[in-house]
Amino acid sequence: MESTRNLILSLFPAEEQGNASLRGLTDRAEAFTRAGTLRTRLDALVQLFDWLRHRDTTIPELRPELGPGAWPGAEWRRERVWLAILESSPEVRDRYHAGVAAILDETDALSLFAEAGLPNDRGLVPETVDRLFRIILPAPREETELARLFLRLFPTKREVERVFNLPQDPLHRFATLLAPVEIPEVWEKPLVSLLDAFCLLAARVQGLGLSEKLRVRSQRGPVQQSPFYRLPRASDALVEAVKKHDGVAAAAQHWKAIVADCRAELETIVAHLDASGVNLDIVYAMDVIEQSLARMEIISGVLVSQPGQAKITTVLRLLRVVIRGRLSDRSLWTLAHNSFRLLAKKIV
């Protein structure tokens, strides 16, 4: 079987095949497509993406600029060349997509969708110590966590914004070439993680919404009539509809109505704080509920959107949120900012 390196070089004129930057790209593409284990595959993908994000004025272009104002200048030149290669060579594209598919099959995305960027219950001091030690000490590899891979692919928020702030057409093209969008079976395991995350978030909202400190400040009535109690049932119904591909629109509409009721219940709790008192636990619980509902709304958009541009847009929105959230989970500044934000909400 012909090497990936030679397949890529054959796309360029003979006089350009010795270009040092082009050789660097072929070496990294060859390493990724030949990787035989999850660890080597992850390392090769990270090295490829790290190489692509650097400015380059010397690598030969496979074709002219992709459109007015799209992918301008040397900052995107390496990405332009790599995407043009994937478009021009179905064999290289298939090998690259096979490597991405193997990663998705061998990793788990539950923590990425259900936890990234959302508050936890550890408290300010333990969380500060934990984040400080993460900065000082090397973290364990944890190859099976997809969240770890995204941290390596997008090490800073600047890099996240650099990619996700692209205009819609170039961003969609970027996504459809770098991920095997047209192969449904590749996404079976990520979909399972997404559905599990949706159910976990619903359970968390129920637990906080029905806790005593919020229940006594809510509207009077049986627990079973509370929207926080009904939310997991509506979420389970939506998940089942998605799995069966039947009644998705009706289940989604019912779920949205319950979410609206949950937000109305939060407003009722706020209205009762002047009489029943407030503390940081209450403010924290309400903040977690609101952020969890917002995350569930993004996930539901992915679940109910039709295949095509609409689904790609919602998936990219979700990825941007969770990647930024995972970066925030490592930041001491973000922890301090959120703590003071909650304190300010309590004072208000």
Condensed to tens digits (0 to 9), the pLDDT of residues 38-83 reads 999 999 999 999 999 999 999 998 865 444 445 667 888 999 899 9
- Same domain for 98 and 237, yes or no, is no
Average pLDDT over residues 229-242: 97
User: Which of 77, 106, 135 marks a domain boundary?
Assistant: 106
pLDDT at 317 over 90: yes
Q: How far apart are CA 32 and CA 26, in angstroms?
A: 10
Residue listed under structure tokens 């390596």: 152
Q: How far apart are CA 190 and CA 147, in angstroms?
A: 12
Residue 333 is predicted with a pLDDT of: 55
**How does residue 335 score in pLDDT terms, banded at 50, 70 and 90?**
low
Q: How many domains does the chain have?
A: 2
- Same domain for 227 and 331, yes or no, is yes
Average pLDDT over residues 171-182: 87
Residue 66 is predicted with a pLDDT of: 47
List the one residue out of 57, 139, 144 whose CA is nearest residue 106: 144
Enter the DSSP assignment of 61: P
Q: How far apart are CA 279 and CA 227, in angstroms?
A: 23
**How does residue 341 score in pLDDT terms, banded at 50, 70 and 90?**
low
- Same domain for 202 and 56, yes or no, is no
User: Which of 79, 106, 133 marks a domain boundary?
Assistant: 106
pLDDT at 92 over 90: yes
Q: How far apart are CA 321 and CA 150, in angstroms?
A: 12
Range name among 49-53, 138-142, 240-244, 285-289 with the lowest pLDDT average: 138-142
Give the Cβ contact number of residue 333 at 10 Å.
9
318 forms beta bridges with none
User: Which of 106, 129, 151 marks a domain boundary?
Assistant: 106
Range name among 121-125, 197-201, 227-231 with the lowest pLDDT average: 121-125
Residue 69 is predicted with a pLDDT of: 44
Residue 104 is predicted with a pLDDT of: 95
